[in-house]
Amino acid sequence: VTIRVGIPRALLYYRFYPLWTTFFTELGAEVVVSEPTTQEIFERGLKKFVGDTCLPMKLVFGHVITLADKVDYLFIPRMVSIEKDAYLCPHFAGLPDVLRALMPDLPPILDTHFNVRKKGVTMKSIYEAGKRFNKNPARVYHAYQKAQKAYQKFLERIRDGITPQEAIQAFDGKEVSLPKERKERLNIALVGNPYTIYDPFSSLNIIQKLRKLGAKIYTSEMIPDEIIEERVRSLSKRIYWTFGKETVGAAFHYLDSKEIDGLIYIISFECGPDSLLKEIVDDKARKNKKAAYMTLVIDEHTGETGINTRLDAFTEMIKRRRNKKVDTS
Ligand code: SF4
């Protein structure tokens, strides 16, 4: 019988889905992903959740509940660090325990510990994740190598200019249809945590909304790691969070780029890291007058109308700035 592994369409799904899926599929498992977020999924999760946290963490509860009766295992890795000298926010490391404590009836959770620190992803964590499917370490390692290849291809697709959401579609073999680029297009960069930007429910479909307003979208995943590293190295404060580094590095890069007309920083309300990083990005944007800048703070109470009005105003402002430049040149 094929073992079914459930992956919630939340959090690091937006970064690692092709890697995880290839790994489990290569080991003979069937991967089941929860459906795209809806109000109902969100509300189901909220009923189980106790206490205060950010929207992305609340959402994962709803996704896990919808998967619970469809799978044999849930894959909720205990993510501490995914790169040298940087960490994920502590919520990630505690997630498997919180889920188990609040929902004891869940299927067994594969909570492989990922803590890269100085050694790279260790064979131990890879084997830990794969041993239930195949006890042979060589087979598990081989599956991981294949997964890495699929992951590199996914990253390359994004660097070629599609969003991670679209690169996931391409990985799943679905056709990705991008809107035709308009001649007078606006180049708008989006920065922030990937699971907020690329989950259409959380971001109120911001990518589609901006495209309708004539924007071409740029994201932090489209920038090579070296550039991100270089930009954050020049800061007086060190940033310890992986997504925080990406947000700030990409924001600095795009604010200095001649191509970009505007930058939007999408912030999760109740996100500790975001509230600190906002100061750094705000400060850079204040000093840099080239690109328009705005922040959008998002939580479950954010209304569609409010966002539409802000996006309209932002794109109008960019157009006015452009016309002014033409007038004075
Ligand atoms: S980084 Fe912010 S949004 Fe992400 S899990 Fe942590 S608190 Fe939530």
Per-residue pLDDT, averaged over 269-291, amounts to 91
Q: What single-letter DSSP state applies at residue 205?
A: T
Place of tokens 């995880």: 20
pLDDT above 70 coverage of the chain, percent: 97
At 203, the pLDDT band (50, 70, 90 cuts) reads very high
What is the rounded CA–CA span in Å between residue 194 and residue 200? Answer: 11
CA distances from 249 to 60, 222, 305 (A): 27, 12, 31
What residue ranges line ligand 1, CB within 6 angstroms? 54, 56-57, 89, 91, 193, 268, 271-274
Residues 6+ apart with CB under 8 A from 326: none
Say if CB 261 and CB 322 are below 8 A apart.
Answer: yes
pTM of the model: 0.93
Ligand 1 centroid distance, CA of 148 (Å): 26
27 CA → ligand 1 middle, Å: 31
> Distance from the CA of 243 to the center of ligand 1, in angstroms?
9
Which tokens belong to 187? 């180049």
In tens, the pLDDT along 85-136 reads: 888 999 999 999 999 999 999 999 999 887 766 455 677 888 888 999 999 9
pLDDT at position 121 = 63
Q: Is the dihedral of CA 148, 254, 80, 196 positive or negative?
A: negative
Which distant-in-sequence residues (6+ apart) come within 8 Å of 94 by Cβ? none
Q: How high is the pLDDT of residue 195?
A: 96
Residues forming beta bridges with residue 217, ordered by sequence position: 188
Looking at residue 326, its pLDDT comes to: 60
pLDDT digits (tens, 9 = 90+) for 25-52: 999 999 999 999 999 999 999 888 777 8
- DSSP three-state, residue 80: strand
